[in-house]
Chain A
Amino acid sequence: MTIEFRDLHKSFGAQHVLRGLTMTIERGEVFFIIGTSGVGKSVTIKHLVGLLQPDSGEILVDGKPVHGLAEREYYPLRKRLGMVFQHSTLFDSLTVLDNVALPLRKHQRMRMSAAREAAKERLAVVQMERYADRWPAELSSGMRKRVAIARTLTLEPQYVLFDEPTTGLDPVSARRVDEMIKRLQTLDVTSVVVSHDLTSIFTIADRIAFIYQGQAHIIGTPEQLRAADDPIVQQFISGRSDGPMETPGF
């Protein structure tokens, strides 16, 4: 029950984003992938569910390769690996309740009324049941994020991938999302979180991979990261603008 990346390479045009990424994510942990913007964090997790394909290298989920499959072969995988997008990506044309009910209707062949009942329970878990009849456009970004999490959890995935779950949220909403991610551990869910929110990193992460120049620069617990005498890591976690780190585009 692990996720393994082996020597992953990915380019977009002339931009060589991932250059030999290798790391392993263990079962049941809250694993953070951190780094500066544009370093390829989101790109990494999109490879896991086949939204992107690697140029070379291997990705193994539970020991089975998950790269180079046809779109339809990803569907069983995606039911086990849920993803919460950065901008929540609720479907504009459906109400909050119907957004959550959609995967239930599609995959568990539930009738509309049954799916709505089940969706209401899921919404209660993220304390959004009072907004069930609202449209996504009427919600704040924090509320949308909670609905997106509820929608992802409907398929009872073993892994949940979070793409910058706290970016753009106010501090209170951000901590509530952090709590939700941590609580997933009790359901035996492995969380992979892409983030550069230092508060989240040092409150809920079990292990952290720091991505720099397309590779896992350092992997370790929050304590190990704090104690690391690596000038680049220290520059990142102290948030200084001057230092040895090369940030493309700035």
Chain B
Amino acid sequence: MSRTRDIRSADSPPAPPASAPDPQRVALLLRPPLLVGAAALGGARVARGIASLFAGTLLRAINRQSERGAVAEQMFNIGNRSLFFVAVTLGFIALVSVFQVCLQLNRVTGDLSKVGLELIKLMVHESAPSLTAMMLATRVGAGIAAEIGSMVVTEQVDALRMSGVDPVSYLILPRFLACLLMTPVLAVFAFGVALGSGTAMAYVAFGVNPSIFVDFSAVTAADVGIGVVKCFCFGAAIPVVSGYCGLTTFGGSEGVGAATTRAVINASLAVLALDLLLTVAGFMLFPPSAA
């Protein structure tokens, strides 16, 4: 027995990982309230970290601490990564929503002439920006967190700081500017794809003439304004949230996977929360008038 103890003290086992849950130790009934409490506390800390990173990034953006080449490279990365993805997902969403709306309207009124008009209005101020941003949160957010996260665990970020380079202006700022500029571009592209597939679905399945379906007359300046503001807000939120998740990576190579997951979830939730906020604000500022 004493030999076993000797061996144990010779190479003392590493401390248990903080994230290792032990479901058997805590009574199952106690868990949900504990989870909510822990989530609230953790959420507050994360929110503070994200806010300070956002402020820091803005400050550096005003001081122009970024190379144009780096921004252009990130813009290419973002576009290259997500063009196909955004096209496929938004295309299918438009197919389905046109189908569902027409199906229901057929039962109620049978008048499908206004479907395109209303859906295009909805797409401009809501669907195109928010769904594109949801997809970017998945694609680009995960990518940013994985890149920065693996730089953190391989101590490349520490090496940057040792050589006097500020990680925020070197890593976060180019991605921030690139995402800010690319989100509206991709949203417009997504709008085009969705319009195309929606028009096709209306024509093929319900015989709505494309010349009736494609009708921009209901789109007001306020719709376009809300859409653009949403694009910029989402474009700012995604890189900051996922960059924060990447920079706070810990726990070796497995930590990078965890950071990627957190980035996707947090960036998506941020997009949803901002979308609710901006939608309500838009509703209050430009109250819809009767048609």
> Residues of A with Cβ closer than 8 Å to B?
127, 130, 134-135, 137-140, 142-143, 170, 172-173, 176
- B105-142: which have CB < 8 Å to A? none
In the complex, are the beta carbons of B4 and A140 less than 8 A apart? no
The docked-state distance in angstroms from the alpha carbon of A170 to that of B17 is 23
List 16 extra interface pairs beyond A135-B20, A137-B20, A170-B11, CB under 8 A.
A127-B4, A135-B16, A137-B14, A137-B16, A137-B17, A138-B15, A138-B16, A139-B13, A140-B13, A142-B7, A142-B11, A143-B13, A170-B10, A172-B7, A172-B10, A173-B7
- Least CB separation from B254: chain A residue: A92
The docked-state distance in angstroms from the alpha carbon of A170 to that of B13 is 14
17 A-B pairs with C-beta separation under 8 A: A127-B3, A127-B4, A137-B14, A137-B16, A137-B17, A137-B20, A138-B16, A139-B13, A140-B12, A140-B13, A140-B14, A143-B7, A170-B10, A172-B7, A172-B10, A173-B7, A173-B11
Query: Which residues of chain B are within 8 angstroms of A170 by Cβ–Cβ distance?
Result: 10-11
Known: A135-B20, A137-B20. A130 touches B13 (CB 8 A): no
In the complex, are the beta carbons of B10 and A138 less than 8 A apart? no
- Least CB separation from A127: chain B residue: B4
Among B4, B7, B11, B13, contact of A138 (Cβ-Cβ < 8 Å): B13
B20 to chain A, nearest CB (A): 6
Among B4, B11, B14, B15, contact of A130 (Cβ-Cβ < 8 Å): B4
- Least CB separation from B16: chain A residue: A138
- Least CB separation from B5: chain A residue: A130
B187 to chain A, nearest CB (A): 41
Query: Which residues of chain B are within 8 angstroms of A138 by Cβ–Cβ distance?
Result: 13-16
Query: Which residues of chain B are within 8 angstroms of A172 by Cβ–Cβ distance?
Result: 7, 10
Query: Which residues of chain B are within 8 angstroms of A130 by Cβ–Cβ distance?
Result: 4
A32 to chain B, nearest CB (A): 25
The docked-state distance in angstroms from the alpha carbon of A150 to that of B20 is 24
Query: Which residues of chain A are within 8 angstroms of B11 by Cβ–Cβ distance?
Result: 140, 142, 170, 173
The docked-state distance in angstroms from the alpha carbon of A216 to that of B147 is 44
- Least CB separation from A141: chain B residue: B11
Number of A-B contacts (CB under 8 A): 30
Among B4, B10, B12, B13, contact of A134 (Cβ-Cβ < 8 Å): B13
Query: Which residues of chain B are within 8 angstroms of A127 by Cβ–Cβ distance?
Result: 3-4
The docked-state distance in angstroms from the alpha carbon of A138 to that of B16 is 5
Interface string of B1-34 (1 = CB under 8 A from A): 0011001001111111100100000000000000
A92 to chain B, nearest CB (A): 9
Query: Which residues of chain B are within 8 angstroms of A137 by Cβ–Cβ distance?
Result: 14, 16-17, 20
B179 to chain A, nearest CB (A): 35
Query: Which residues of chain A are within 8 angstroms of B20 by Cβ–Cβ distance?
Result: 135, 137
The docked-state distance in angstroms from the alpha carbon of A137 to that of B20 is 9
B26 to chain A, nearest CB (A): 16
- Least CB separation from B15: chain A residue: A138
Query: Which residues of chain B are within 8 angstroms of A140 by Cβ–Cβ distance?
Result: 11-14
- Least CB separation from A139: chain B residue: B13
Query: Which residues of chain A are within 8 angstroms of B12 by Cβ–Cβ distance?
Result: 140
- Least CB separation from B6: chain A residue: A172
B247 to chain A, nearest CB (A): 25
The docked-state distance in angstroms from the alpha carbon of A130 to that of B11 is 16
A23 to chain B, nearest CB (A): 35
A13 to chain B, nearest CB (A): 25
B69 to chain A, nearest CB (A): 36
Query: Which residues of chain B are within 8 angstroms of A176 by Cβ–Cβ distance?
Result: 7
- Least CB separation from A176: chain B residue: B7
Query: Which residues of chain B are within 8 angstroms of A135 by Cβ–Cβ distance?
Result: 16, 20
Query: Which residues of chain A are within 8 angstroms of B13 by Cβ–Cβ distance?
Result: 134, 138-140, 143
The docked-state distance in angstroms from the alpha carbon of A142 to that of B10 is 11
B283 to chain A, nearest CB (A): 47
Query: Which residues of chain A are within 8 angstroms of B7 by Cβ–Cβ distance?
Result: 142-143, 172-173, 176
- B256-283: which have CB < 8 Å to A? none
The docked-state distance in angstroms from the alpha carbon of A142 to that of B7 is 9
